[in-house]
Structure 1
């Protein structure tokens, strides 16, 4: 009996301490953007780049959830109160149904090695999901692991917005998303996304169209210190129709296909800083001129290729092909190193300036698609 009372007292004191701390400070930690990034952005783009905004937080309402208790009920309660923190205690939380994210709610665990959200036998869509309606804003997921079992076709995190009323200010910090059969993280039509110090790995066992991380029609993305290595069948990260992306100190290793892909209309202002890509069996950086809705019709219209790209201090090494780009213009490769097996960069009708960069294997400049190497398929 004394032990039970002691446990209750300690638990209450912890919640009081946690609540007190969060009243004074945000739960999230701001990402430090390297000063070199800011200076190069200003020199090349002026003030055109739109940075991601952080989610607002409501920290004076903390709801504690233990394993076997309902995470959804806690999220609903925090949302109905106008906002709050759902604090997931250490242990394995089995997910037998999809959890719906809602506005103004922070979900925080005790650490990615301590709070584990595990795919249950009945989970059939995603661990966390947001549909196009209602629109959500100001969500943070932090300090936990979302782990699949590679069964079915289930996503780790799935957020689907709509152009006319997008989701906004979504952040993931210190989380692992691993072993999901579909996408690890798939975000559509959402603005202001921040990912910091996360591992998105071993996802996409359900097929080559599933990736560790897949963005579609998003604006203002900040990725910092991510490891998106070891996708099972798809890519490490795909950026389709994305604008204003800053990815710093990210890593992709050992893919069966391409490392990253950037494509389609409205794609531009992508800044890759200290991005390391190695061990890709195909192309490390694949930037095709692809119409997402008519991909089997060959095009060279720059409308369908990403524009305004900057690579700074990137290391693209030990891949079969380093970078294969079509109709990419107004772009720069700065202070970077390429050393790959066949071609470091293959550029078809591109305008890309090289500044203080090294290419051990060498680059190829193509003026006609007939010059494109036969062993690099146009529509990978």
Structure 2
């Protein structure tokens, strides 16, 4: 009897160790560490109202390897049809001559962003990676690779478009570069629980000023950590339109021809920017207009169309033409931050923003009427 009990215990222990090892393979993602100060300030200003992201699930036992020249789509479809798993893209250049359709329960992983390169081929006219409104996609991880465009056509690096009734959810990008796409580097629409960690989204948007390095539209629960959205070719570094519950920590945007960050439209709120560095923007570093996305050429001051409950903490907004220009932004805070810009550090029109322990070297302007707004800052960019 005692021997049987010992044998059972040994089997259980082996099972536990095997399970732990399976969850710590090179294919598993690493959770983002959020600084304690972020939690403290969130609780102080918002109580427990902020809703954090939910991480993807992973199926790590089923692994399909893909060499350069082999079909990535066939591997994704095979793993998906088997209930989920890993598509392991081996080192080298994988030329994409057709759009890759992403599916649920997939971990798409390379050997490192400098080793596994996915390069735009001649047959792509929409996106390198695509998810349509149907079917709903959940639990997708892309990590350790580079998705590189050629700036030809109007092509997105990653394009995800969901529906309100069945949003895509639990999408994670970790340790990837998305560069040189003529349209958006990454465009995610009606998608929840998005995590971007240690990623570079740069040199995208060469096809026009409406294309950006990263463009979020109607998304909820976003975590960005240690991401660089610098050097958009013609558009913005990051656009958050109708986004709720955003935490972006230690992110960087440098050298834009227009604005750095834009946040706007309805359902926009609970935006927390921690140690965000924005510099070298030819226009506004932080552009928060009060814009109805579907009627943008009619001026409005309705707070419904501007982000509410915004916190900047320990941010550096320096060497931009204008630091921040906000309209009808309320219940918001600028804490422990430094502004040093060419024209205005912060221009606030009918906004309620509290400044705490922050430095504004150029100075701020408070506007009570749109007629006071500087003419060289267009009200409806």
- What TM-score comes out, normalization by structure 1 length? 0.94
Asked if residue 307 in structure 1 is aligned to residue 308 in structure 2, the reply is yes
Give deviations 1:176-198, integer Å, cap 9, x for gaps. 00000000000000000000000
Offset of 1:21 from its aligned partner?
4.8
Measure, in 1, the Cα distance between the counterparts of 2:47 and 2:72.
45
Describe how 1:21-60 pairs up with structure 2 within 5 A: 21-24=21-24, 27-60=28-61
Describe how 1:266-285 pairs up with structure 2 within 5 A: 266-285=267-286
- Match in the other structure for 1:109: 110
Structure 1: any 5+ residue segments left out of the alignment? Answer: 1-18
Describe how 1:121-140 pairs up with structure 2 within 5 A: 121-140=122-141
Measure, in 1, the Cα distance between the counterparts of 2:71 and 2:198.
27
- Match in the other structure for 1:243: 244
- Match in the other structure for 1:71: 72
Give deviations 1:288-335, integer Å, cap 9, x for gaps. 000000000000000000000000000000000000000000000000
Asked if residue 320 in structure 1 is aligned to residue 321 in structure 2, the reply is yes
Q: Decide whether the 8 Å contact of 1:23 with 1:60 is kept in 2.
A: no
Over 3 Å counting, the alpha-carbon distance change for 1:74 and 1:324 in structure 2 is same
Q: Decide whether the 8 Å contact of 1:91 with 1:114 is kept in 2.
A: yes
* Range 19-28 or range 108-117, more displaced: 19-28
- Match in the other structure for 2:352: 351
Question: Which 4+ stretches in 1 moved above 3 angstroms?
Answer: 19-26
Give deviations 1:219-250, integer Å, cap 9, x for gaps. 00000000000000000000000000000000
Offset of 1:122 from its aligned partner?
1.2
Q: Decide whether the 8 Å contact of 1:211 with 1:237 is kept in 2.
A: yes
What is the root-mean-square deviation in Å for CA atoms of aligned residues?
1.1
Measure, in 2, the Cα distance between the counterparts of 1:172 and 1:24.
17
- Match in the other structure for 1:182: 183
Structure 2: any 5+ residue segments left out of the alignment? Answer: 1-18
Asked if residue 362 in structure 1 is aligned to residue 373 in structure 2, the reply is no
Offset of 1:344 from its aligned partner?
0.1
Measure, in 2, the Cα distance between the counterparts of 1:127 and 1:27.
23
Over 3 Å counting, the alpha-carbon distance change for 1:301 and 1:175 in structure 2 is same
Measure, in 1, the Cα distance between the counterparts of 2:340 and 2:213.
24
- What TM-score comes out, normalization by structure 2 length? 0.94
Measure, in 2, the Cα distance between the counterparts of 1:121 and 1:149.
10
Q: Decide whether the 8 Å contact of 1:68 with 1:93 is kept in 2.
A: yes
Measure, in 2, the Cα distance between the counterparts of 1:379 and 1:326.
11
Asked if residue 192 in structure 1 is aligned to residue 196 in structure 2, the reply is no
